[in-house]
Amino acid sequence: MLKRTQIRTRILSTVTRLMLIYAVISAVAMGLVLTQVMRTYASHAKSVIISDLGGEVPEFASAANLRPANEGLFTFARAYLASHIVTNQHILFIDIFGNTVLGSANSSQVIGLKEVSAFLANPPKSTTFLTESLKSTPYLVMGSPIVVGGKVVGSLVGVTSLLELQKQEGQVLLLAGMEALVALLFSIAAGYFLLRRVMRAVGKVTETAVEISRGNLDRRIDFGGQSDEVGRLALAFDEMISRISQTMDSQRRLLADVSHQLKTPLTVIRGNLELMSRSKEFDKAELDEVIGVVISETDYMKTMIDGLLMLERMNEGGSLNETQVDLRSFISDVFTSALTLGKREWHLGDVPELSVWIDGPKVRGALLNLLDNAEKATDEAGMISLEVVISNGYLDMSVTDTGVGIEPQQLHMIFERFERGTSRDQRGAGLGLAIVEAVAKAHEGTVKVDSVLGGGSTFTMRFPSTRIVKGN
């Protein structure tokens, strides 16, 4: 069997494995997000640079169209580069076919770019942007045709360094990477804390289950944390073990009760059968007496076993077969059946005209149990009353007799199994009142007794108002 230290070691090992998996998945997710962020940033920054460099084309074309009519394009281009302020470190080349190539300040630094020479020698049909490196420095090269009168007369080439963009990308990557790392570490720490908390509860469940498997059914988790999924799991586990413990206790008690209560009738039956086996001659009267005793003891055992089984089913819950019952018809039927119990002064009170939601046969059996006990507690001159009233929102079914009453010290015992008190019928199984109480509890109700020694008793089954369906 697992020891507590072994259980905790395995739990820590499980936490470590799960956290490693979580860390790897989180790191991959963070990496993918970071990569996408950098791609988006680089694409946006480059599009801004392209837009800025590309703006040189319409600006030159607009200025060329506004030049004096007697001014040649080459002369204008030279004056334009001399007076034009080039922003953002842009470098411009203007090649008017048949003339020398004109360049802005610092143009000599990038004259070695192949794409610059290619665009100057053969201008593209439309503005085109290409990327090229020179001495480990990245550049964006733009080539655009110079068109006059629908004819290409030269080319405009622009160059701008991407080194600053590269540095900015590195800074953004560093900053975003540090933020992602902090977020990852915080996520792992939070995940570890939550996982340890969950696994701690799981560990308690495991430890409790191990101890229960060893026979300690009184062990509980007693989880004191929040009422979340983990808390509800621990609570459900404790409730399940309580139900199992109650069931096993009930089974043990049932076996103990049956074994104890069957000893006497079995001894009586065995004694009579042995008497028959030792007697060589048996007249019919003696044989009938022995058979009667055996049948009586057998009936007693059957009644006791049926009562015990019914009690166990009632205590397990879910044994009710509830239907809507008309109260007046139901009580009238119970009272009619009670009249056959014995010659007494029977009285039935007014019954409210309504319907109730109950298990009719079980409530009927409980009431007849009370009426039968009342009949046994009274003599022929005694009176027994059956009354049904609505009291403080509850439905009360009461049986009152004018019999011998119950001794005060026995009032707290009479609902226990096999408790017969001072009943005249000591051959009863002693389960009637226990069954009455079980039926009342199964209907979310109670049963109480008021008794005066020598002055009679009143037993009341009280049902909650939720059992009342409607009034007429």
Q: Do 392 and 279 lie in a common domain?
A: no
Q: Is residue 221 part of a domain?
A: no
Per DSSP bridges, beta strands 101-103 and 128-134 are unpaired
* Averaged pLDDT in 10-residue chunks for the chain of 472 residues: 53 72 87 88 89 90 87 90 73 91 86 90 92 90 90 92 88 89 88 77 73 71 65 76 74 67 75 74 74 81 74 67 92 93 92 92 91 91 93 91 88 72 52 85 91 91 88 50
Q: Do 340 and 450 lie in a common domain?
A: yes
> Could you give the number of structural domains in the chain?
3
Q: Is residue 188 part of a domain?
A: yes
pTM over 0.75: no
The sign one gets for the Cα dihedral 345, 350, 354, 358 is: negative
pLDDT at 458: 94
Q: Is residue 69 part of a domain?
A: yes
pLDDT at 144: 94
- Domain end call among 262, 290, 316: 316
Q: Do 206 and 88 lie in a common domain?
A: yes
Q: Do 174 and 246 lie in a common domain?
A: no
Q: Do 306 and 404 lie in a common domain?
A: no
CA–CA separation, 255 vs 261, rounded Å?
10
**pLDDT 10s digits, 415-468:** 776 665 555 444 455 677 888 888 898 889 999 999 988 889 999 999 998 998
Overall size of the chain counted in residues? 472
Task: Return the CATH number at 15.
Answer: 3.30.450.20
Q: Do 377 and 464 lie in a common domain?
A: yes
Q: Do 256 and 154 lie in a common domain?
A: no
**pLDDT 10s digits, 22-40:** 888 888 988 898 889 888 8
In 100-162, beta strands by DSSP E: 101-103, 128-134, 137-148, 151-161
Tell me which H or E stretch contains 120.
helix 114-121
Domain that holds residue 91: 1-216
